[in-house]
Amino acid sequence: MGREFQTVLAALLKILPDYEDMLVENLVRPFILKDEDYKLLMDIMLGEFNKGLGKETNPTAKVKMYPTYVRDVPDGSENGNFLALDLGGTNFRVLLINLNGQEVTMESKIYLIPQHIMTGTGEQLFDHIAKCIHKFMSNHDLLKEKIPLGFTFSFPCKQIGLNHAILTQWTKGFKCEGVEGEDVVRLLHEAIKRRGDIDVECLAVINDTVGALMSCAHSDRDCAIGLILGTGTNACYIEKLENVGLWDGDYNEPNQVMINTEWGALGDDGCLDFVKTEYDRQVDKHSINPGRQIYEKMISGMYMGEIVRLALEKLRKHGLLFGGKGSEELSTRGRFYTKYVSEIESDVDDHFKNTKQVFEELALEKYSDEDCRIAQYVCSLVSTRAAFLASVGVAALLNKMDRQDVTVAVDGSLYRFHPHFHDLMEEKIQQLVKPGIKFKLMLSHDGSGKGAAIVTAVANRLRDSGKESIGENGLEN
Ligand code: BGC
Per residue in 67-104, pLDDT (tens digit) is 999 998 888 888 899 999 999 977 899 999 999 988 99
Report percent pLDDT > 70 for the chain: 95
pLDDT at 474 over 60: no
Is 84 contained in some domain? yes
- Look at residue 148 and tell me if it is in a domain: yes
User: By C-alpha distance, which of 112, 136, 116 is closest to 124?
Assistant: 116
- CB-based burial, 261-275: b 16+ in 10 Å, e otherwise: bbbbbbbbbebbeeb
CATH number reported for the structural domain that contains residue 116 in this entry: 3.30.420.40
Q: Where in the sequence is the domain holding 188, given as residue range(s)?
A: 68-219+446-461
Which residues, in sequence order, are bridge partners of residue 201?
A: 148
Identify the pLDDT of residue 5.
74
- Global pTM value: 0.93
- The answer to whether the CB of 172 is under 6 A from ligand 1 is yes
Closest CA to 155 of 113, 192, 183: 183
pLDDT per residue over 130-152, tens digit each? 999 999 999 999 999 999 999 99
The answer, yes or no, to whether residue 473 has pLDDT greater than 60, is no
Q: How many Å lie between the centroid of ligand 1 and the Cα of residue 285?
A: 20
Please indicate, yes or no, if residue 472 is contained in any of the structural domains: no
Q: Is residue 317 part of a domain?
A: no
User: For 185, what's the count of Cα atoms within 13 Å in the CB-facing half-sphere?
Assistant: 23
Q: Tell whether ligand 1 has an atom less than 6 A from the beta carbon of residue 262.
A: yes
| pLDDT computed for residue 4 by the predictor | 77
350-362 confidence digits (pLDDT tens):
999 999 999 999 9
Question: Is 373 a domain residue?
Answer: no
The rounded Å distance from CA 377 to ligand 1 centre is 28
Q: Is the pLDDT of residue 476 over 50?
A: no
Say how many domains are in the chain: 1
Task: Please tell me if the CB atom of residue 151 comes closer than 6 angstroms to any atom of ligand 1.
Answer: no
In a domain, 55, yes or no: no
**CB neighbours (10 Å) of residue 33?**
17
CA gap 400, 264 in Å, rounded: 18
- The pLDDT of residue 257 is above 80: yes
CA angle 367, 368, 374 (to 5 degrees): 95
CA distance to 57, 115, 206, per residue, from 151 (Å) = 30, 21, 6
CB atoms within 10 A of CB 103: 8
Q: Whose CA is nearest to atom 11 of ligand 1?
A: 232
Average pLDDT, whole number, for the chain?
93
Write the DSSP string, 76-119. Answer: S--EEEEEEEEESSSSEEEEEEEEETTEEEEEEEEE---HHHHT
Residue 19: predicted pLDDT: 81
Kindly state whether residue 82 falls inside one of the protein's structural domains. Answer: yes
pLDDT digit string, tens, across residues 287-325: 999 999 999 999 999 999 999 999 999 999 999 999 999
Percent share of the chain, pLDDT over 90:
86
Within-domain flag for 418: no
Catalytic residues: 172, 208
Contacts of residue 291, Cβ cutoff 8 Å, sequence gap at least 6: 268, 284
Three-state DSSP at 394 gives helix
Q: Is the CB of 152 under 6 A from ligand 1?
A: no
Ligand 1 atom with the shortest distance to the CA of 172: 7
pLDDT tier for residue 187 given thresholds of 50, 70 and 90: very high
Q: Ligand 1, from 234, 236, 268, 413: best to mutate by most atoms within 8 Å of Cβ? A: 234
Q: How far is residue 184's CA from residue 204's CA, in Å, rounded to a whole number?
A: 11
CA distance 132 to 138: 10
pLDDT band at 261 (very low <50, low <70, confident <90, very high): very high
Q: Give the CA count within 13 Å in the CB-facing half-sphere of 405.
A: 4
Q: Can you say whether the dihedral through the CA atoms of 128, 129, 132, 134 is positive or negative?
A: negative
